[in-house]
Amino acid sequence: MDRSLDVICLGRVAVDLYGNQVGGRLEDVQTFEKSLGGSSGNLAAGLARLGARSSMLSRVGDEQMGRFVREALQAEGVDTSHLATDPGRLTALVILGIASRDSFPHIFYRERPADLGIETSDFDKDYIASSRALSITGTHLSTEQSFAVVQQAVGFAVESGTRVILDIDYRPVLWGLTSAGDGEERFIESREVTARYQAIVRHCDILVGTEEEIQIAGGSTDTLAALKNLREICSATIVCKRGAIGCSIFTGAIPGSLDDGISVSGVRVEVLNTLGAGDAFLSSFLCAWLDGRDWAECARYGNACGALVVSRHGCTPAMPTRIELDDYLARSADIARPDKDKRLALLHRTTTRRSARRNLCVLAFDHRRQLEDLVIATEPAGHRIAEFKQLVCRAAEQVAADASAGTEVGVIVDERYGEAVLARLTDRQWWVGRPVEIPGSCPIEFDPRSSMGLPLLKWPAAQVVKCLVFYHPDDDIELRLQQEDRIRQLHTDCAELGRELLLEIIATSKGQPCDEHTVANVMRRMYNLGIYPAWWKLESQTEQGWQEITAVIEQYDPQCNGVLMLGLDAPEAELRDSFAVARPFDICKGFAVGRSIFGGAARQWFAGEIDDAAAIRMIADNYAQMISYWNAAEA
């Protein structure tokens, strides 16, 4: 069917708070990692990562967690036009832990959650008819209000030829059948619950659940009997998930054994966390189904996707992309531990990055040593530098307000003198880079300590980690090894903590000869060391230099966000000419220039020759001029 959406996901969407400490009681967990959650939220994100056009039909609260859920879905590419904001309810939370391979305690904080506040007025028949399929979570059959919403959505789907999928998703705690702290419980018999499921099952095209979920929907603790009960009331294709065994699919009469269905073996992996595996299975299963694959192939995709997620920490963050899943399917027989496979880890990290910017014009004013050289090294001097950086920020904001469509502005600013600017612009969701290196250090040293792992953990996740390295292939071998070891350590910290790394390479600092091969060779060396930055920040190059750099990135990391050009206090005319050479290469996504924009104003302002307004005006004019040079280079 030629429709604008592939799958509408109606149901549970929440914030997951996953315990970082693995192998102990939930009571002893010290830190938690926040991510998108809820079965329907996981499904919508999983579908989008695999290339499907998914939409979220639900509600979130009018608070920070609700805005986080909305932004997280949008970042994955999920349509949120029908994700309503409920001013009277809070976004649901789930606290989860990994106690052992067999125990995953979790607590649902769902006292009048926003997603169950969904109303029939939140959507219409045209919206349902715009999608090839409607996927419903069983949780939304648990209250009168949400059940009425499901009935209306299913009715619209039947009228418009939209296929209906029911993810049984049975959690007794969400039906009030067990205590609030017993979220891990997966099965309690209930005639009332069975009746609710069967009222919807009769209209479904695909029904998906574990054996326990098939039992509750079919009204029998014997799986085969439950399947036969379901077949009496519906003609749906029934998909029975069987954990490590794989799954069995039933399209017609129920046979005498589960194995006699269309049975596809699971992928053997070391299990870390089973939570979210079912949502991963369904997302990949449905993507294959939407592509017109047969049931066995759908199951193969679903099993592989589920296997990847059970080997990882988290639910939505563990969902694979299409590139990653295809690579795994091609090599799964040889990968016993997907969580230990370096290629899969790299593909997961690079293909799930935040969307890259194309026209990123960055004002870099993380300079510390250069500004300190302009003032007397006394305590008031630091305050003066911080004050000047506030002026630079105001100039950047003025330019951003007038920037043409398609031009995105950003900043690189330090914590030492720009702490207030960092907080201000990060809160406004700008592209923000933040340096980690001690200025001028070679071999590189990190500020405030040699190991960046713990300090980075305290940074806002949206801030890009910027690291400047003076590196030339002809440097002394001992110096190069020191540099490489520290960059590799920083890269590992960034990868573990989900931070984007911008690696700035300056090869010309010591006057050593550089040609069109130099920077490309440095990048090739970094990639061979396992260092894959999200961004590169590089000096201007000749046309052949950019050709070689492009070839290196295409060979090693086609998912790289790209290159930003640095300025090194070059004159405007020189930068303009450099932009003209770089702009035709797709890998060049913008610039990150500093002193060429603010240097003159800084010298005059610190000397008392101009006031604040004049400094802001001068910086804003220079910044706008630099953007115009970049845009003109494209033309």
CATH number of the domain encompassing residue 322: 3.40.1190.20
Q: Are residues 318 and 368 in the same domain?
A: no
Q: Are residues 295 and 442 in the same domain?
A: no
Closest alpha carbon to 506 in 549, 551, 472:
472
Last residue of a domain, one of 351, 371, 386: 351
- Could you give the CA distance from residue 616 to residue 397 in angstroms, rounded to a whole number? 10
Last residue of a domain, one of 301, 329, 351: 351
CA distances for 106 relative to 103, 125, 167, 216, 231, angstroms: 10, 36, 20, 21, 33
- Residues 6 or more apart whose CB falls under 8 angstroms from that of 383 comprise none
User: pLDDT under 70 in the chain at which residues?
Assistant: 1, 101-102, 182-184, 186, 271-274, 355-356, 376-381, 448-454, 635
Q: Are residues 345 and 364 in the same domain?
A: no
Q: Are residues 337 and 367 in the same domain?
A: no
Q: Measure CA of the first residue to CA of the last residue in the chain; give whole Å.
A: 40
Joined tokens for residue 509: 């600092």
- Could you give the CA distance from residue 225 to residue 254 in angstroms, rounded to a whole number? 9
Last residue of a domain, one of 312, 328, 351: 351
Residue 131: Cβ-neighbour burial (10 angstroms; 0-12, 13-18, 19+): buried
CA distances for 403 relative to 431, 460, 627, 628, angstroms: 15, 26, 9, 10
Q: Are residues 322 and 431 in the same domain?
A: no
Cβ density class 402-434: b for 16+ within 10 Å, e for less: ebeeebbbbbbbbbbbbeebbebbbeeebbbbb
Q: Which residues pair with 5 in a beta bridge?
A: 131
Q: Are residues 274 and 375 in the same domain?
A: no
Q: How large is the C-alpha radius of gyration of the chain?
A: 28
Residue matched to tokens 């002809």: 474
Q: What is the pLDDT of residue 530?
A: 95
Total Cβ atoms within 10 A of residue 293: 15
Q: Are residues 156 and 220 in the same domain?
A: yes
Q: Are residues 272 and 397 in the same domain?
A: no
Joined tokens for residue 40: 């329907």
SS3 185: coil
Q: Are residues 441 and 535 in the same domain?
A: yes
Could you give the angle at the alpha carbon of 600 between the alpha carbons of 597 and 602, nearest 5°? 95
Joined tokens for residue 543: 């046309």
CA distances for 460 relative to 253, 336, 355, 456, 498, angstroms: 55, 35, 17, 8, 11
Q: Are residues 319 and 440 in the same domain?
A: no
- Could you give the CA distance from residue 301 to residue 306 in angstroms, rounded to a whole number? 9
Q: Are residues 39 and 144 in the same domain?
A: yes
Alpha helices in 365-476 (DSSP H): 369-372, 379-402, 415-427, 453-457
Q: Model confidence over 393-436: pLDDT tens digits?
A: 999 999 999 888 778 999 999 999 999 999 999 988 899 999 99
Closest alpha carbon to 433 in 421, 445, 447:
421
- Could you give the CA distance from residue 46 to residue 42 in angstroms, rounded to a whole number? 6
- Could you give the CA distance from residue 140 to residue 143 in angstroms, rounded to a whole number? 7
**DSSP-assigned letter for residue 255:** -
Could you give the angle at the alpha carbon of 495 between the alpha carbons of 491 and 501, nearest 5°? 55
Q: Are residues 610 and 513 in the same domain?
A: yes
- Could you give the CA distance from residue 432 to residue 364 in angstroms, rounded to a whole number? 10
CATH number at residue 378: 3.20.20.70
The single-letter code of the amino acid at 203 is: H
Could you give the angle at the alpha carbon of 467 between the alpha carbons of 466 and 468, nearest 5°? 125
Joined tokens for residue 300: 């193969």
Q: Which residues pair with 163 in a beta bridge?
A: 133
SS3 203: coil
- Could you give the CA distance from residue 87 to residue 61 in angstroms, rounded to a whole number? 6
Q: What is the pLDDT of residue 380?
A: 56
Respond yes or no on whether the N-terminal peptide bond of residue 448 is cis (omega within 30° of 0). Answer: yes
Q: How many folded domains does the chain comprise?
A: 2
Containing domain of residue 212, as a range?
A: 5-351
SS3 460: coil
Q: What is the pLDDT of residue 377?
A: 44
